[in-house]
Amino acid sequence: MISETPKIKLAIFASGGGSNALKILEYFEQHSTIEIALILYNNKSAGVIQHGLAFNVPTIYWNKTKMNDAKATLSMLNYYHVDGILLAGFLALIPKYLVQRFSGKILNIHPALLPDFGGHGMYGHFVHEAVSASGKLCSGITIHLIDAEYDKGKILFQYPVSINANEDPVSIQKKVLALEHLYYAPIIEKYFMNPESLF
C-alpha cells in the first residue's frame, strides 16, 4: 500500500475581522497538498473566530503573554504539526524565536507597495490614510516574508492599483482589499509548493 504524502500544514495568525483568513480557508478547503491546520487570534472579539468555526479549524485565543512564551507557543504549533505561518491582519510583532524557528516560512500581506508606507504602526487604515495624504497615484499589495523587523522581510510578490491623488482612504482600502483577496492565497500556494516560481 502506497502511503499518502503528508500535507503541508499552515497556521493563520489573525487579530481582526478575518476577511483574508476567510479567503485562505476557502482556497485551501479541498486542497490536495496544503491544509490550514490552526488559527491563533489575539483579540477576543476577532471576526476570524467565526470563520475558523465554520471551516472546522481549531481556533484558539493566544494573547501576547502566551505568544511571548516560546515553550508554550512552539508546543502548540508542534501539536498541530505546523510547517508555516500566515499572517492575516495580525497586529503584533512576531517574536524572534518564531522568526528563527520558522525562518523563511512566515508570510505577511501588507496593504501598500513596500518599502513605502511600512514599519511600526503602519497597518490597516493608517496605511491608506498615509497613502492618501502623500498624493501618490498608486497603491497596491506586498506579500513578503517576515523577519525581526516590521515590513522588512524579503518581498515575494507585489501588485499595484491606480488611485487618484488624495483619494479617500476608504476608497483606497476597498481597491487594495480586493487585490488581497485575489492574490494572497494563490501566492501562498506557489510559495509553499514551489518557491522558486516566485524568484
The residues assigned a catalytic role are: 110
Beta-bridged to residue 87, according to DSSP, are 13, 108
Give the type of residue at 190: K
Q: Which residues contact 162 (CB under 8 A, 6 or more apart)?
A: 137, 138
> Which of 12, 18, 198 has its CA nearest to residue 106?
12
Strands of 138-145's sheet, edge to edge? Answer: 59-61, 34-41, 8-14, 84-88, 106-110, 138-145, 155-162
Torsion sign across C-alpha atoms 28, 34, 38, 44 = negative
* E strand intervals along 72-118: 84-88, 106-110
For β-strands 34-41 and 59-61, DSSP reports them as parallel
CB 6: neighbour CB atoms within 10 A? 10
Please report which helix (H) or strand (E) contains residue 168, including its range.
none
Q: Output DSSP code: residue 113.
A: -
Q: How many residues are recorded in the chain?
A: 199
